[in-house]
Amino acid sequence: MKKQTVAFSRQSTNLFFHILTRCNLRCAHCYINREQHGSNTLSLDTIRDWLGIFSSKAKDTNLIFLGGEPTLHPDLASAVSIAGSMDFKSITIDTNGFMFHNILDKITPDQIDFFSFSLDGVSKGINDAIRGDGCFDAVMSGISNAVKKGFSCSMIYTVSEKNIHEVSKLPELVKGLGISRFFIQVVGLRGESENTDAKQQVSKSIWQETIPKTAEQIAEQGIIVTYPKVFLTHGDTFECAANVADNYFIFPNGRVYQCPLCEDFPFHSYEIINNVLTPCPKINETNFFSLQIPEGCVMNKLIQPENLSYDDNGFPRYKIACCMLKEELQP
């Protein structure tokens, strides 16, 4: 098994494209903030124009269609076709599993690289309490149907205090599902959610005792596993992805962020105006990326300091890594 920290690279761009913010669920940890991100659904023409902004680097760009729930968009299949004609490096659809508009019948496996399914509980009770009634069954059915049709599938599990006790059961859950990638995420303290119980982040000790071991057990099944590094020692070098890599988080109101932790605020780096990616005036998120503090990530310190810990002298016991820094296990 090969374990590596995935380095940031200017040679690869990630385009997280929210084509709408509407969703059929109300997940407890949803990061969508319609006041900041808009509530409109982009037209197919707008999707085409905005994809065109990044088409010159399409061959080096991983495109992820997001929502809300992207399969609620009636023109998602056409959007996939447009993206394919621009030769994006990879195309992924993130979904909650309900697979609206018969999307599996409207595109083919050679048009996208992954359907990525979100599941936040090994048991139906825990998952549906976090994500919504019927979600567990929808994900299981969605994966089964997609795999039968030849699509490559992945799964995303967002860890919080609400579901950390089920993480050890994940290797058994994914056995035989037919997925080829598994992503573990840290719950973010942002978005529209008012359910603070489901948003609490787990401690460093619990994370380190649980996540790497479970990731290895999943990878032993031949599944590529990716999870955030999260915690750094003071001997580790902190690096902000926004200073090194090109990551764009696009929302339907035209805001474009480089750091997902900033998405609750009007701190976006860019705005799409008349189909042009336009830099925003100061102060915006870019003014924070180069700051160096003992806690590591500046935005984490400002926005979600609850996952930091300090000694008796007020010095942080560890640093928080950039949220885009990942560990990857390849079987």
Residue 284 token pair: 């915006």
Strand partners, 114: 92
- Domains along the sequence of the chain with CATH: 2-330 (3.20.20.70)
Pick from 80, 97, 73: nearest CA to 20: 73
Whether the model clears a pTM of 0.85, i.e. scores above it, the answer is yes
Residue 331 token pair: 């079987």
pLDDT of residue 194: 46
Contact between residue 262 and residue 251 where contact means Cβ atoms under 8 Å apart: no
Residue type, 112: I
pLDDT of residue 192: 58
- Measured between alpha carbons, how far apart are the two ends of the chain, in Å? 5
pLDDT of residue 6: 80
Instruction: Classify residue 148 by burial, with Cβ atoms within 10 Å: 0-12, 13-18, 19+.
Output: exposed
CB atoms within 10 A of CB 267: 22
Peptide bond between residue 283 and the one before it cis (omega within 30 degrees of 0): yes
Residue 141 token pair: 């059915």
Main-chain phi, psi angles of 205, to 5 degrees: -65, -45
Contact between residue 252 and residue 41 where contact means Cβ atoms under 8 Å apart: yes
What is the spatial distance between Cα 70 and Cα 179, in angstroms, rounded to a whole number?
Answer: 20
Q: What is the pLDDT along the chain (331 residues), one digit of tens a residue?
A: 888 888 787 777 999 999 999 999 999 889 999 999 999 999 999 999 999 999 999 999 999 999 999 999 999 999 999 999 999 999 999 999 999 999 999 999 999 999 999 999 999 999 999 999 999 999 999 999 999 999 999 999 999 999 999 999 999 999 999 999 999 999 887 775 544 454 588 999 999 999 999 999 999 999 999 999 999 999 999 999 999 999 999 999 999 999 999 999 999 999 999 999 999 999 999 999 999 999 999 999 998 888 899 999 999 999 999 999 999 999 9
